[in-house]
Amino acid sequence: MRDLLAALTELRERLQEIPQADERRLQDLKTEILGRKAGALTKILVALPGLEPAARKQVGAAANTLKREFEAALAARERGLKDAAGVAAGVDLKMPGRARWRGGLHLVTRVMDEICAIFREIGFTRAVGPEVETEWYNFGALNFPKDHPAIDAQDSFYLEGEGGYLLRTHTSPVQIRTMEQHRPPIRVVSLGQCYRRDPFDPSHSPVFEQVEGLVVDEGVTFVDLKATLSWWARRFFGPATRTRFSPSYFPFTEPSADMQVTCAVCGGSGCPTCKQTGWIEILGSGMVHPAVLENCKIDSERYSGFAFGMGPARIAMARHGIPDIRLFFESDVRFLAQFADAAGGAP
Ligand code: 2NL
């Protein structure tokens, strides 16, 4: 048994010959050590059954370990020689392949989906509607006065010809259509593209996305508005987020309030994203004006509601500290891929 262990130690030395071996030498080494009839290691393995049980166990373990080491070293050298042969023939087998580009959802699209998914948890459904609207659905039903500046062709995109059709300036018409088609209780988020004659500058785009929400039921109060929107903000921006409301004005809500959240970039201590205030304005909201309910044939004595509207591009900017809304429209993959999730983006 001592002899066998000594033979194994000697054989182990020969592992060092493998990394330098050329193809022929490699074949010889294989035969000399692992050959089925006369291989040095094979011989030891064949002798095992004749040993005492304790010796058989010790020598057997050492011999099998060494056999696996030889097999691994021989295989590695074989691979190395093959790669080298490929390079010599002008084929670099180690060259990385060309990665495939996988498409991904745009950051603004993903933010819209996230916003809606959170509202879905508390019973809101999604609604969409036409982007070309009548003045009634876009302005009249929403209690805009006849001389409101937004109605002016300077501020909205009108289609040529009769009918006064225009590109919707918000998604509110979708909610008017929802109130016409469904009786309360109503809990709905509407979303999609909107159009305004705005300059294309760091904080405006003439084409933009909107997500709006609407709740109509018996006994809905301003408390429901504040609680729902504060809960949503913490779900979206994180549990440490605080919210505050300040008075605002919209023709379609009374009273109206803007909601601010503590800056998601600096946590409220002040940074360029929140202009050193620690707060960022996220949405407008309010109690649905009774005239709007009546325009949809909903009894405003019995029912009340709240509504809100937000711009997902601005929300994405607030969350990620993106300084210019125009970046969303440039299709620069270096910009977009920074926000890609596992399902998309550049390789
Ligand atoms: C903003 C403000 C808001 C609404 C949208 C709404 C819709 C109906 C009735 C009443 Cl049908 N209100 N929507 C209410 C308050 C604010 O959006 O700043 N959006 C970006």
The string of pLDDT tens digits covering residues 77-86 is 888 888 888 8
CA distance linking residue 124 with residue 118, whole number of Å: 9
**Distance from residue 108's CA to the centre of ligand 1 (Å):** 19
Distances (CA, A) of 255 to 32, 173, 222: 93, 20, 9
Q: Are strands 125-127 and 186-195 parallel, antiparallel or unpaired?
A: parallel
Q: Is 290 exposed, middle or buried (0-12, 13-18, 19+ CB in 10 A)?
A: middle
CA-nearest of 310, 257, 314 to 287 is 257
**Distance from residue 309's CA to the centre of ligand 1 (Å):** 5
**Distance from residue 250's CA to the centre of ligand 1 (Å):** 7
What does the pLDDT look like over 240-276, one tens digit per residue? 999 999 999 999 999 999 999 999 888 889 999 899 9
CA distance linking residue 346 with residue 340, whole number of Å: 8
- Could you write out the DSSP letters of every residue in 8-56? HHHHHHGGGGGGG--HHHHHHHHHHHH-TTT-HHHHHHHHGGGS-HHHH
Atom of ligand 1 nearest to the CA of 178: 11
What does the pLDDT look like over 63-81, one tens digit per residue? 888 889 888 888 888 888 8
What does the pLDDT look like over 43-56, one tens digit per residue? 888 888 888 888 88
* Residue of the CA atom closest to atom 3 of ligand 1: 309
Q: Are strands 243-250 and 207-217 parallel, antiparallel or unpaired?
A: unpaired
* Half-sphere exposure in the Cβ direction for 119 (13 Å, CA): 25
pLDDT band at 226 (very low <50, low <70, confident <90, very high): very high
pLDDT band at 346 (very low <50, low <70, confident <90, very high): very low
The residue among 287 and 92 whose pLDDT is bigger is: 287
Q: Which SS3 state, helix, strand or coil, does residue 158 take?
A: strand
* Half-sphere exposure in the Cβ direction for 18 (13 Å, CA): 23
Q: What are phi and psi of 244, to 5 degrees?
A: -145, 150
* pTM: predicted TM-score of the whole model, two decimal places: 0.73
Report the pocket of ligand 1 as residue ranges, CB < 6 Å.
Answer: 172, 175-176, 210, 212, 214, 250, 252-253, 284-286, 288, 292, 307-311
CA distance linking residue 239 with residue 235, whole number of Å: 7
